[in-house]
Amino acid sequence: MGNNRRVRVMVAKPGLDGHDRGARIIARAYRDAGFEVVYSGLHQTPEEIVEAAIQEDVDMIGLSSLAGAHKYLFPRTVELLREKSAEDIVVCGGGIIPEDDIPPLKEAGIKEIFTPGTALDDIVKWVKENVKPR
C-alpha cells in the first residue's frame, strides 16, 4: 500500500452556469500539481456538491461561477458542510466575482476567491499552503 496521503480536491460548478472552461483549466492545473481532482460536472446544487465531496473524502472544494449566483451558492455550500459536520473541508472559489462581493464571501467562510487573470501557479501554491490532507 505504501503510506502516502495525497491531496484530494473537488472542482465543482454550482448553479445553472454553463461556463466550464475555467473549471477545467483549474482541474488540470491541480492534477499537474499532483493532486487527485474529482470533477463534478455542470449544474450542481450545493447539496449535491457537498454530498459528493463527503463520499469522495476531499480536502477542499473549489467552486467556479461566472454567472453571478455566487452570492447565494458559495455561502450555501459552506453552510451545508457545517450542517454535516464537515467544515474541515476547505472551500475556495473563482470566476466572475465583483470586488465588492469578496469580503462578504470570505466572512461567510469561503477561504479565498480567485478572479480572472490569476496565474495558475498562484492558484496551485495557495492550495499547497492552505490545504493539508486530513
Total residue count of the chain as it appears in this document: 134
Our finding on whether 95 is near ligand B12 (CB under 6 A) is yes
Residues 94 and 114: beta-carbon distance below 8 Å: yes
Contact segment (CB under 6 A) with ligand B12 among 32-40, 50-58, 81-89, 108-116 equals 108-116
Helix (H) or strand (E) holding 129: helix 120-130
Residues 22 and 29: beta-carbon distance below 8 Å: no
> Residue 132 has which C-alpha cell?
493539508
**Residues numbered 2-21 forming contacts with other proteins, rule: CB under 8 A:** 2-6, 8
DSSP label at 12? E
Our finding on whether 32 is near other proteins (CB under 8 A) is yes
Residue choice 25, 54, 67, 108 for contact with other proteins (CB under 8 A):
54
Of residues 9, 13, 6, the one with CA closest to residue 123: 9
* Three-class secondary structure assignment of 82-124: HHCCCCCCEEEEEECCCHHHHHHHHHCCCCEEECCCCCHHHHH
Residue choice 96, 101, 108, 111 for contact with ligand B12 (CB under 6 A):
96
Our finding on whether 25 is near ligand B12 (CB under 6 A) is yes
Residue choice 116, 121, 132, 134 for contact with ligand B12 (CB under 6 A):
116
Our finding on whether 52 is near other proteins (CB under 8 A) is yes
Residues that bind other proteins (CB under 8 A): 1-6, 8, 27-28, 30-41, 44, 47-48, 51-52, 54-57, 86
Residues that bind ligand B12 (CB under 6 A): 11, 17-23, 25-26, 62, 64, 66-68, 92-96, 114-118, 123
